[in-house]
Structure 1
Amino acid sequence: MNRPRVGVAVLTMGDRMPELLALLASVAEQDEPAVRVVVVGNGTALPGLPQGVTVVELEENLGVAGGRNVAWQCLRDFGDVDVLVDLDDDGLLIEADVFRRIADLYAAESRLGIVSFRIADETGGTQRRHVPRLRAGDPMRRGLVTTFLGGGHALSMPMLEETGGWPDAFFFTHEETDLAWRAVDRGWDILYEPQLVLRHPKTSPARHAVYYRMTARNRVWLAKRHLPAALVPVYLASWAAYTLVRRPSPAGLKAWWAGFFEGVRVPCPPRRPMRWQTVWRMTRLGRPPVI
């Protein structure tokens, strides 16, 4: 097959300009250049970006899912990108061979849908939550998984066409899992490749004010959209128990329950339950879709 062509998408709210410019510099330093680089301003203007970067300025913040769909559609319209690489605006590529490695991976495997990077902090360490498997003790263990990391990943453009892209309504949190489940159900592979590194400051997702509400709401929507009916209560009960064990603050727990019942009350169509064959495949990969 022809060599896969890599395009880059970065989503920003315009409040990390030094980090964004450093990231774009690391993108420009790759030994196999990206054919396109798109930066989407999520409700913000973006003056002063480097020449050659395509800038899309949105009038309102569409969230992570909505903003990434805008970037995908922009690259899709150019018609010369085979693999889309999403990067957090405060991340940094510390090696110059990232895009070359990605092109090699996709050239070797036609059903490779998603490649998940390893996220490393300034010390080189990887947080447990950044390893996309249950047995997360060794962040250097490569292999097929059932979800991926939002901060740095590569997506097959044919896979995006087949799955329909990101779930706009999710706005923020669990949009990666929603896309991953649809990809796995359609026979695409998800590879965790720890040699592909995005340096990223050590953070907690709870730093976002809406985290607890949206993480609970979107968990419910995941189950309602994708799980066989028999697994929906099992999945939601396991995540409710996990949340209680972690003992969030009273304000956080109140927001979590508000989001949970919002998810129950508010529909998020379409409902397309995954096949039981997919449930078994995910179980064999080490993460049945109830945990």
Structure 2
Amino acid sequence: MTWPPPYPAPRHVAGAPAPPAGSYAADVVILALDRAEETIEAIASARAQAGVTKHVWIADQGSRPESLQRLAEAVRGAPDATLVRLDRNWGVAGGRNRATALGRGRVVFALDNDAEFDGPDTLARAVAALDEDAGLAAVGCRILVHATGEDDLSSWGYPAALLPRAAQGFDAVTFVGAGHAIRRADFARCGGYDDALFFCWEEYDFCLRAIALGRRIRYRGDIAVRHKVSPERRFAWTGTRWFHYVRNRLYIEMKFGASPLALLPRFLAYQAKGARNGVLAQGLRAGPAAVRMARAFRPAPGTEALYRLDEAARAYIARNDAAHRGGLARRVRTEVLSRLPPARAGTAAS
């Protein structure tokens, strides 16, 4: 498998016309869709990272002209940052794929456009975490509320039982998109993100493929980004967010060999949660949509092993995820009967 595929070259808008010559440590990827003020602050935070060679990529996916102009002014003449305009909104998965393909850094750090690095050495420490542990494919950052420094609970993507360890580190089966670092070689081996997901669960889908190859994912509570609360251009639960959440999760399970019948209990649990939260119609539509996506999915030639979880991979998942979720009663209480959190984490653009 060759990655990246031959993506059309995006339109260069402002900043450096190309990444640095020769080798360098990291590409920082920021997707943009309006939110100009927050995005400019995210860019400034990325450019201010010290102690590491880097290039900052801002991929715009359809901002209004006035917002795009502000972004262009923020990086005009910058030697370490590039603003490009993609041909359309590819969502989180497709947008990050296309932005990542532009660089050559051995590590790719994705930063939400309403987030900032916690300190000037955050990027350097994320790169070092991957350099020091050859078994890691990716590192997930601790996500803090920008204004308070407290844990952003709506961005906690791990079992609730692990929340007391938020300041520590542990192996995991996913990472949170708001701030994470991926080894470029592993990103390529796994084929990047699945464009079809558009938004939601794309990180988990990537991590399953990495785990299938014997790689590990590590949460690092000592490496943090600060996440802001911004309602602009968000996917609300009452819009299509719950639809994407349910559809993509079921689709991923079917990609990895689960039958629709075997997923019926999960589907019904989602409907119970959707009914409790007033989004039942979205969940009901998501089931048939997931089946259609799974039927259309075909692994690229030579990549079939990415979608087979052997005994070692399943043991890794059981040890680092299922073991922390408790029995059926606890899972029903925490995962089915709970309210949906505010739509703070993840958007169509970031």
SS class of match (2:163): coil
Give the partner amino acid of 2:140: S
Give the partner amino acid of 1:71: A
2:62 is the counterpart of 1:43: yes
2:149 is the counterpart of 1:149: no
2:240 is the counterpart of 1:210: yes
Maintained 8 Å contact 2:267/2:287: no
Q: Give the drift of 1:4.
A: 7.2
Residue 8 and residue 105 in structure 1: after superposition, are their counterparts in 2 closer, same or farther (change >3 A)? same
TM-score by length of 2: 0.73
Q: Give the drift of 1:284.
A: 1.3
Provide the C-alpha distance between the structure 1 equivalents of 2:274 and 2:282, rounded to a whole number of angstroms: 15
Q: Within 5 Å, which residues of 2 pair with 1:1-291?
A: 5-13=25-33, 15-44=34-63, 45=68, 46-50=71-75, 51-52=78-79, 53-75=81-103, 79=104, 81-121=105-145, 122-134=147-159, 135-138=161-164, 139-202=166-229, 207=236, 209-229=239-259, 233-234=261-262, 237-238=265-266, 240-241=268-269, 244-245=272-273, 247-250=275-278, 252-266=279-293, 267-270=295-298, 272-287=307-322
- After alignment, is 198-207 or 176-185 more displaced? 198-207
Q: Give the drift of 1:255.
A: 1.1
Q: Give the drift of 1:203.
A: 6.9
TM-score by length of 1: 0.87
Q: Give the drift of 1:257.
A: 1.1
Give the partner amino acid of 1:214: H
Provide the aligned length of Structure 1 versus Structure 2: 281
Residue 23 and residue 58 in structure 1: after superposition, are their counterparts in 2 closer, same or farther (change >3 A)? same
CA deviations on 1:213-257 (whole Å, 9 max, x unpaired) are 11111112101111455xx6555523641552464443x110111
CA deviations on 1:145-174 (whole Å, 9 max, x unpaired) are 011101100000110111000000111111
Provide the C-alpha distance between the structure 2 equivalents of 1:189 and 1:141, rounded to a whole number of angstroms: 17
SS class of match (1:220): helix
Maintained 8 Å contact 1:128/1:136: no
Provide the C-alpha distance between the structure 1 equivalents of 2:283 and 2:243, rounded to a whole number of angstroms: 5
SS class of match (2:322): coil
Residue 102 and residue 127 in structure 1: after superposition, are their counterparts in 2 closer, same or farther (change >3 A)? closer
SS class of match (2:29): strand
Residue 30 and residue 20 in structure 1: after superposition, are their counterparts in 2 closer, same or farther (change >3 A)? same
Maintained 8 Å contact 1:43/1:62: no
Residue 129 and residue 243 in structure 1: after superposition, are their counterparts in 2 closer, same or farther (change >3 A)? farther
Give the partner amino acid of 2:30: V
Provide the C-alpha distance between the structure 2 equivalents of 1:187 and 1:261, rounded to a whole number of angstroms: 32
Q: Give the drift of 1:188.
A: 1.2
Maintained 8 Å contact 1:118/1:198: yes
- How large is the Cα RMSD of the aligned pairs? 2.6
Maintained 8 Å contact 2:179/2:225: yes
Provide the C-alpha distance between the structure 2 equivalents of 1:130 and 1:174, rounded to a whole number of angstroms: 13
Maintained 8 Å contact 1:133/1:286: yes
Residue 66 and residue 23 in structure 1: after superposition, are their counterparts in 2 closer, same or farther (change >3 A)? same
Q: Give the drift of 1:108.
A: 1.0
Provide the C-alpha distance between the structure 2 equivalents of 1:246 and 1:256, rounded to a whole number of angstroms: 6
Q: Give the drift of 1:176.
A: 0.7
Provide the C-alpha distance between the structure 2 equivalents of 1:236 and 1:32, rounded to a whole number of angstroms: 50
Provide the C-alpha distance between the structure 2 equivalents of 1:143 and 1:237, rounded to a whole number of angstroms: 29
Maintained 8 Å contact 1:8/1:34: no
Decide which structure has the larger Cα Rg and report it.
2
Provide the C-alpha distance between the structure 1 equivalents of 2:174 and 2:246, rounded to a whole number of angstroms: 18
Maintained 8 Å contact 1:227/1:274: no
Q: Which runs of 5+ in 2 are unaligned?
A: 1-22, 300-306, 332-350
